[in-house]
Amino acid sequence: MPATNKPRHDALHNRPRAGDPASGNLPPNVRGRGAGVNPASRFDDFHLHVLGEHLDELVHEHPGGVQVITRVDPDHARSILNPVESPDVPGDWTLNPYRGCEHGCIYCYARPGHEYLGLSCGLDFETRIFAKHDAPQLLRRALREPSWTGRPITMSGVTDPYQPIERRLCITRRCLEVCVEARQAVSVITKNHLVTRDRDLLSALAKLGAAHAAVSITTLDHTLAASMEPRASAPADRLRAIRELADVGVPVTVMTAPIIPGLNDHEVPAILAAARDAGAVGAGYVMLRLPHQIKDVFFDWLRRHHPARAGKVESLIRDVRAGALNDPRFKSRMRGEGPLADQLAATFKLFKRRLGLNDRASLDTSHFRRPAAGAGEQMDLF
């Protein structure tokens, strides 16, 4: 593996693609994961790159793909609540029980966050997970601060609180237990049916008008979802999650996030109709954007899984970003701009209105009460 002091993504991209004639229709190297590459962090001055010939050998030796296990390390965070500083993101505070996400969604805007840890936004992001085991205690401490007024909290901002390891670690559930005790208003957003495990806690808060859920559905095509979001719940299971949450009184919004022009944009009406039929009362969307090295990860996946459409999809993505792949400006970054972006916005608005998906999540914070002191904390004097 040669060393260089500048990126050489060609070494990662010049191996045979699944579906290309030269590849013999071989599957991707990594089985059950979204990313097929691990681009170097933009913060590193010294980069190592695997030669394409070595990757060719791996594909040949492991025609069924190689398995990469998930590694979970502790995250010793000192605080757990993060203020929302973006005007185009709803809510005031976010809580992230984990860093990284095992779902492996190929388009995830949170991937570059792993580069601050000296890791890659590619395969590392979905196989190196950092768990905040102390999150419930940190949350309790934060809610007991005299300055805390009970403003709504969103779980999560840069991870999925119900990714597969949550089933074992239960960090999100323990945080919700603190919220129930404090009557703290909370929203959860997820792609995993596991959220229904906590419908007892969410419904208890919903009775006070203090709970809301958003379920992200990017496609109804099981095959597309399995490659694009490999360890998230299948589309049918996400629809079932909407139904089960709605049945216990939890208001649910469906999120078509992201809309990828040329890949899933044509599904918007069907997704909204299916979600409405399952019990959703609201809908929202976000346009795909590809900051930093996400573009390398996404286009590697696109060329492997949809080689015939890759060029067209990239062209349409650039159409809604004024020729670029990313737009960091507030508001525009969520919706895009130009004729195609306007057309997609109008279509979404039309079907949202036609299907009655107009309820906005409005959380009641008036019931908040400070939770009791946790173990090792000083009790209140009065």
3-state SS string for 352-381: HHHCCCECCCCCCCCCCCCCCCCCCCCCCC
pLDDT, tens only, 156-201: 999 999 999 999 999 999 999 999 999 999 999 999 999 999 999 9
pLDDT attached to residue 29: 60
pLDDT attached to residue 13: 34
Q: In angstroms, how far is CA 116 from the centroid of its own chain? A: 18
pLDDT attached to residue 65: 62
pLDDT attached to residue 212: 97
User: Residue 300: exposed, middle, or buried by beta-carbon count in 10 A (0-12, 13-18, 19+)?
Assistant: buried
Predicted TM-score of the model (pTM): 0.86
Domains in the chain, ordered, with CATH?
Answer: 3-354 (3.20.20.70)
Quick one: which H or E segment has residue 186?
A: strand 186-190
**Whole-number mean pLDDT of the chain?**
87
Length of the chain equals 382
Residues of the chain with pLDDT under 70: 1-29, 43-66, 375-382
Q: Are 150 and 185 in contact (CB under 8 A)?
A: yes
pLDDT attached to residue 62: 56
pLDDT attached to residue 39: 83
